[in-house]
Structure 1
Amino acid sequence: MARTAMLAKPPVSDRMRSIRRVLWVILFLNLGVAAAKYLYGAATGSAAMQADGIHSVFDSAGNVIGLIGIALASRPADESHPYGHAKFETYASLAIGILLLLAAFEVGSSAVVKLVSRNYTADVTPFSFVVMIVTLCVNLGVTFYERRRGKELKSEVLAADASHTLSDALVSVGVIVGLVFVALGFPAADPIVALIVTVAILATAYDVFKHALATLSDHARIPEDELKAFVMGIPGVKEAHRIRTRGTEGEVYVDLHVCVDEDMTVGAAHDLSEQVEDAIKLRYPQVIEVLVHIEPDDGHED
């Protein structure tokens, strides 16, 4: 006996709308930060500041990709996509990862050219530090806000973008350190810091790809032992096995086999399956669908 239960909580579209609002706010903040760092870096000849500005531009491009991905992911299930379109959010995360790789190439190649040619042109002024410190504070604020909302909404795009923005903040710290060394008479520190920026971007890309591939490879979203122990605590359940979970962090699908007393009536077994489904969704709010297969507890091994 099997029954599929739909999610008994606010519509997925409300979650997607909230993610979209966050992305719009972050987009405008990232554009402001990128413009400040890149334009001032270009005016003073600082490769590190320009590199940091480029990184912030790619943050903004990632926001745009995220908005497109969320627009696609929010579409309801249809005949050709019976499980919905939630994985488009994951595809958007992968696209952000690709942009990060392109940003790393741009930043790294520019730094190498400066090191090889020994063309150190950075001009450090007190305002250079003002620009970097202000944009660093903005980045930190964006990171904490986006990470908090990402956890609340179980959003892969927001989580990936928050990690990206945090790396941007850490890069800004590195740029500030580089500017200090340039001011002290070590001009080569500027492109060297730009190379450190490249490494930070690559590390961020790796993290983005790792989380996206976990979803696309149907990585288990809830530990099997944990879910089994929970289900076994429901009155009437004799045994639970073949427990599987998959999906995005915000939309998890569960299927499992539950053994009941072999003398239980069909109606009672059906009611128990509903109790199991409702209990799982109450315990794990990210679960949107549960499939329970009822079996008699007659000692057989499935």
Structure 2
Amino acid sequence: MAKAFASKNPVSQRMRSIRRVLWIVLMLNLAVAAAKYVYGVISGSASMQADGIHSVFDSAGNVVGLVGIALAVRPADEGHPYGHAKFETYASLAIGALLLLAAFEVGSSAIAKLVSGVFTVEVTPISFAVMIGTLAVNLGVTTYERRCAKRLKSEVLAADANHTLSDALVSVGVIVGLVAVSLGFPIADPIMALVVTLAILATAYDVFKHAFATLSDHARIPEDDLRATAMSIAGVRGAHRIRTRGTEGEVYADLHVLVAPDMTVVAAHELAEAVECSVQRRYPNVVEVLVHIEPDDGHEE
């Protein structure tokens, strides 16, 4: 006997919250990108221009995230009985692809400067003011977005928070490069741009790793933890064949529960509901639980 239970969690409200965060971050990223890139062009700093391009791709990633959330928020239908939540994961993959493109743009520009041997960067106090100011904004955005990602169990926000963090680390590298240039080492500017490239590639790897965990149906809840939750219900003699999958924000779980062989259908139904409620109280991100009732008569062995 099996029974599926749908969560009453406000999934659409979660998606709206994610979308609101993405809009706020988009506006901030555009402001940061404009400040760094424009002054990078004015001063001739390759690393500042590279950092500005990185911030532009942050903004593009926000747009991709907004599109993904718009698709993910749609309710389940005949063709997608489990809903559209994985579109959030596809958006994360698109952000990863944008990061790879950004790495190519930044890296090729830095290599071209190193090959030509022409270094025209001009360092002024304004250069440091721009970089330190945008660094402060990036750190604030990263902290805000990471907290929201954790609270909302959002892959897009987590990926974008890591992206913004890499932007902050890159800004630190650019500041170091500007210091080196001011001390008489102009070659440090394109070298730091290459460091930017490596940071972007590392971020892309992290984004792809988390997205593939969802698409490959990686277990979202440890089996032993879910078993312990089920076993806490009076009448449950055992639990096995435990599986979980889905996105971090929308997890689907199924398990087989062993009960007394002489338990009535009504009692078994009530026990299954109790298991479902216990699982969803412990794990609010579980949107559906499938409980299969089996008699504890040794057949499962």
- Same fold per TM (> 0.5)? yes
Mapped partners of 2:105, 2:64: distance in 1? 19
Residue 241 of structure 2 is matched in structure 1 by 242
Q: Tell me if 1:209 matches 2:208.
A: yes
Residue 263 of structure 2 is matched in structure 1 by 264
| SS at 1:102 equivalent | helix
Unaligned runs of 5+ in 2: none
The 5 Å alignment of 1:158-197 reads 158-197=157-196
Mapped partners of 2:280, 2:228: distance in 1? 15
List per-residue Cα deviations over 1:80-108 (Å, max 9, x = no partner): 00000000000000000000000000000
List per-residue Cα deviations over 1:109-161 (Å, max 9, x = no partner): 00001001101111000100000000000000000000000100000000000
Mapped partners of 2:82, 2:107: distance in 1? 41
Which amino acid letter does the alignment assign opposite residue 151 of structure 1? Answer: K
The 5 Å alignment of 1:105-120 reads 105-120=104-119
Output the TM-score relative to the length of structure 2. Answer: 0.99
Which amino acid letter does the alignment assign opposite residue 95 of structure 2? Answer: I
List per-residue Cα deviations over 1:152-196 (Å, max 9, x = no partner): 000000000000000000000000000000000000000000000
Residue pair 2:229, 2:278 contacting (<8 A) in 1 also: no
Which amino acid letter does the alignment assign opposite residue 209 of structure 1? Answer: F
Q: Tell me if 1:219 matches 2:218.
A: yes
Q: Tell me if 1:49 matches 2:51.
A: no
Output the TM-score relative to the length of structure 1. Answer: 0.99
| SS at 1:100 equivalent | helix
How far the C-alpha of 1:47 sits from its partner, in A, is 0.1
Residue 8 of structure 1 is matched in structure 2 by 8
Mapped partners of 1:301, 1:138: distance in 2? 57
Q: Percent identity?
A: 77
Which amino acid letter does the alignment assign opposite residue 268 of structure 2? Answer: A
Residue pair 2:46, 2:193 contacting (<8 A) in 1 also: yes
Residue 282 of structure 2 is matched in structure 1 by 283
How far the C-alpha of 1:231 sits from its partner, in A, is 1.1
| SS at 1:57 equivalent | helix
Mapped partners of 2:18, 2:7: distance in 1? 19
Mapped partners of 1:270, 1:134: distance in 2? 60
How far the C-alpha of 1:8 sits from its partner, in A, is 2.4
Mapped partners of 1:20, 1:74: distance in 2? 10
Residue 68 of structure 1 is matched in structure 2 by 67
Mapped partners of 1:121, 1:214: distance in 2? 44
How far the C-alpha of 1:62 sits from its partner, in A, is 0.1
Which amino acid letter does the alignment assign opposite residue 79 of structure 1? Answer: E
Which amino acid letter does the alignment assign opposite residue 251 of structure 1? Answer: E
| SS at 2:140 equivalent | helix
How far the C-alpha of 1:301 sits from its partner, in A, is 2.0
Mapped partners of 1:8, 1:265: distance in 2? 27
Q: Tell me if 1:31 matches 2:19.
A: no
Q: Tell me if 1:98 matches 2:61.
A: no
Residue 130 of structure 2 is matched in structure 1 by 131
Cα RMSD, aligned residues only: 0.6
| SS at 1:200 equivalent | helix
